[in-house]
């Protein structure tokens, strides 16, 4: 296993730890809460528009117009799964079944994150670091832990460990079975759609809530980190 594989695996393990401990992270309430969320939104949106979407644009060289189809699929699938869960959560028996579906969705999402992460690190190390930053923020701040989503039906320890380890599993899978450039571009486009939905849906405070100055600060900080990473690793 070469250096890029070890770096990708290390970043995947960081996400795994943050996800596993996510339910234990206490975010302050009130204005401090919205400052933190707005700052995280700025970093995440900065990554989407300044780094991930340009990669999606580059993927159009191979996928052409299909790149938008995979982006739309990623966005739509997450929306449909989430809406179906919340609209049928009143039925206790169905809620238990949907909890399993939701767990599988989380696992596949983080597994694909790991697969894409390895390709990014093998291209440029800083691309992998920038990629994992908003993923880690989402896992920690929004509480990607299923216990925060399913209320009365917290995840079993096996489910929690499996989802937490999905990202390093994805890295290892991509190490053993490398993806073709076209498959990588398809995954990048799909994940861009997923992240667009997740970040806008969960990071951007609604109506009068939120701290716009902290969102702008997050954008500025991400841009500075991106420039610094390019200087250090190139």
Euclidean distance between CA atoms 168 and 174, whole angstroms: 10
Which residues touch 102 (CB under 8 Å, ≥6 apart)?
81, 85, 146, 149, 150
> What does the pLDDT look like over 145-165, one tens digit per residue?
444 444 544 557 777 788 889
Q: Which residues of the chain have pLDDT under 70?
A: 1, 23-30, 86, 88-102, 142-155, 205-210, 234
The average confidence (pLDDT) of the chain is 81
**Tokens 């799964």, located at residue:** 81
User: So what's the pLDDT on residue 1?
Assistant: 65
Q: Which of 13, 228, 214, 19 is nearest to 130 (CA)?
A: 228
Span 31-43, pLDDT tens digits: 777 788 888 889 9
Listed by start position, the domains of the chain span 3-233
Query: pTM, whole model, 2 decimals?
Result: 0.80
pLDDT score, position 144: 41
Q: What is the pLDDT of residue 98?
A: 62
């Amino acid at each position: 296993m070469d250096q890029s594989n070890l770096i990708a695996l290390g970043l995947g393990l960081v996400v795994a730890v943050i996800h596993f401990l996510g339910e234990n992270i206490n975010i302050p309430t009130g204005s401090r809460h919205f400052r933190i969320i707005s700052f995280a939104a700025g970093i995440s949106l900065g990554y989407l528009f300044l780094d991930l979407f340009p990669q999606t644009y580059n993927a159009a060289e191979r996928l052409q117009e299909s790149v938008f189809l995979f982006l739309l699929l990623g966005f739509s699938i997450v929306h449909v799964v989430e809406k179906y869960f919340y609209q049928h959560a009143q039925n206790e028996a169905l809620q238990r079944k949907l909890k399993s579906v939701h767990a599988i969705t989380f696992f596949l999402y983080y597994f694909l994150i790991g697969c894409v992460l390895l390709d990014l690190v093998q291209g440029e190390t800083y691309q992998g670091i920038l990629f994992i930053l908003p993923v880690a923020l989402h896992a920690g701040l929004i509480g990607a832990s299923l216990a925060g989503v399913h209320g009365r039906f917290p995840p079993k320890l096996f489910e929690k460990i499996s989802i937490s380890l999905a990202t390093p599993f994805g890295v290892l899978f991509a190490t053993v079975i490398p993806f073709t450039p076209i498959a990588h571009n398809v995954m990048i486009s799909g994940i861009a759609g997923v992240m667009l939905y997740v970040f806008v849906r969960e990071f951007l405070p609604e109506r009068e809530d939120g701290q716009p100055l902290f969102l702008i600060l997050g954008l500025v900080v991400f841009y500075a980190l991106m420039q610094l990473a390019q200087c250090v690793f190139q």
